[in-house]
Amino acid sequence: MQKRIVMYSNRNEMDRGINRLTVEGWMVQSITALESRSYRVEFVRSSYEEENLQVNAQTIAPSEPLSSFS
């Protein structure tokens, strides 16, 4: 299990960051609103998710140039 903590300076930045990291297989474990109107977000990801993303990236990439399929 991997853990990642990210600090965001405002809510819009946090929303964009969460969207980006969830696409990469991270899940939000906790969000803490700080007095300075910033946010501390804790993400987790299983090792399986990381391996699965690498396999999917290899599967999606064509093994031959697209021009050879014509």
Amino acid 3: pLDDT: 96
Secondary structure class of 6 (helix, strand, coil): strand
Q: For residue 62, is pLDDT > 80?
A: no
Q: For residue 66, is pLDDT > 60?
A: no
Q: Which residue has the higher pLDDT, 68 or 23?
A: 23
**Mean pLDDT computed over every residue of the chain:** 82
Q: What is the pTM of this model?
A: 0.65
What integer is the mean pLDDT of 8-30?
96
To which residue do tokens 């804790």 refer?
Answer: 42
Q: What is the separation of C-alpha 55 from the centre of its chain, rounded to a whole number of angstroms? A: 16
In this predicted structure, what is the pLDDT of residue 54?
A: 62
CB count within 10 Å of CB 43 equals 20
